Amino acid sequence: MADFLVETAKGYYCSYGDFYIDPLMPVDTALISHAHGDHARPGHRRILATNTTTIFMQHRFAKQDLKSYKVISYNESFFLADVKITFFPAGHILGSAQILMEYKETRYLYTGDYKLQDDATCEPLVFVKADVLITETTFANPNIVHPDQVEEISKLTATNHNMMLGCYSLGKAQRLTYLLNVYCPEKVIYVHHNIAPIHRIYDTYGFVPLKYEIYNRKVMKDGINKIYLVPPLTFNSYFRAKNVIRVFASGWKRLQHNNDLSLYISDHVDWKDLLQCIEASNPREIWTVHGDGAMLKSYFEGKIVVRNMAKITAF
């Protein structure tokens, strides 16, 4: 059914179950794939999400009524009207989920953001069969190949200069801390005060211990092998920082310009991993969201129908 899940001004809407997925504006019933800001917003009457997603949201949205949260376990199905819903791990950040919706013997899988690369700090992605795969296409381009993460992180051992390492606060900062702990054990990690509460949530609910200290103004003034993890805004505002090597962790080439070292570590699938997920899911149709599905469409020409998710402007 081409209108099973449609893009509206408020977000992705399923009229057959009367719910939204990752809505941008307040709605009655919201299924949240993961806690990143472009997916998880406050103000919904009911929020259905995994346990850690609700904890991240409670940290961020202090005013949201605690009674609005309903915790969903992975692999346990429930119904909204006649739509059977099941959450599966997406491998993107702690608590991230793919959302399977079954209706009239058709399986619709909304991937949310997801990745295949190893990440000890979150649940690994589970392959899910689907008739209709609704996938993000952030890096759906054959020219995008994410390099090996161990080789990337090991580049930071080439210098003992202190570093400012910019990254997203939720997910990436914790993954980097773990990778640095394991592959660059000589480095001491300091985290920005906005990142620290998220590290603490990972300490409580995550899968691996993270070794880090909270940053204070004195620590980076001298010494060697110190790495200061900061959110993007802080990173950008210190673009003239002296006596530190500036590095930003991202899959985007444009975010590597003007930095002293490049660090290609992404929490999204690259082209090859996207194809592997599609093969495992074995869909008849692919609906694309977030990004550009044009190259996917030409790659699967004559084999799988690929199109953008239908848009409805009337809502």
Stretch that binds Zn ion, among 35-43, 141-149, 220-228, 237-245 (CB under 5 A): 35-43
Angstrom distance (rounded) from CA 152 to CA 258: 18
Say how many C-beta atoms besides its own lie within 10 A of residue 72's C-beta. Answer: 22
Phi-psi region of 32 (alpha: psi -120 to 50; beta: other; left: phi over 0): beta
How large is the C-alpha radius of gyration of the chain? 20
Cβ distance to Zn ion smaller for residue 36 or 226: 36
- The reply on whether position 136 binds Zn ion by CB under 5 A is no
Inter-helix orientation angle 196-205/51-60, to 10°: 160
Cβ distance to Zn ion smaller for residue 5 or 97: 97
- The reply on whether position 22 binds Zn ion by CB under 5 A is no
Query: Tokens 């044009």, residue?
Result: 294
Are 9 and 313 in contact by the 8 Å Cβ rule? The answer is yes
First-residue to last-residue Cα distance in the chain: 19
Out of 8, 35, 36, 121, the residue judged to bind Zn ion by CB under 5 A: 36
Stretch that binds Zn ion, among 34-42, 43-51, 146-154, 276-284 (CB under 5 A): 34-42
CB of 37 to Zn ion, least distance (A): 9
DSSP 3-state assignment of 49? strand
Residues that contact Zn ion, how many (by CB under 5 A): 2
Cβ distance to Zn ion smaller for residue 113 or 152: 113
Cβ distance to Zn ion smaller for residue 53 or 162: 53
Cβ distance to Zn ion smaller for residue 94 or 296: 94
- The reply on whether position 113 binds Zn ion by CB under 5 A is yes
Stretch that binds Zn ion, among 33-41, 100-108, 151-159, 293-301 (CB under 5 A): 33-41
CB of 268 to Zn ion, least distance (A): 8
Written as six digits, the tokens of 281 are 């899911």
Inter-helix orientation angle 196-205/172-183, to 10°: 70
CB of 242 to Zn ion, least distance (A): 33
Q: Which spans of this chain sit near Zn ion (rule: CB under 5 A)?
A: 36, 113
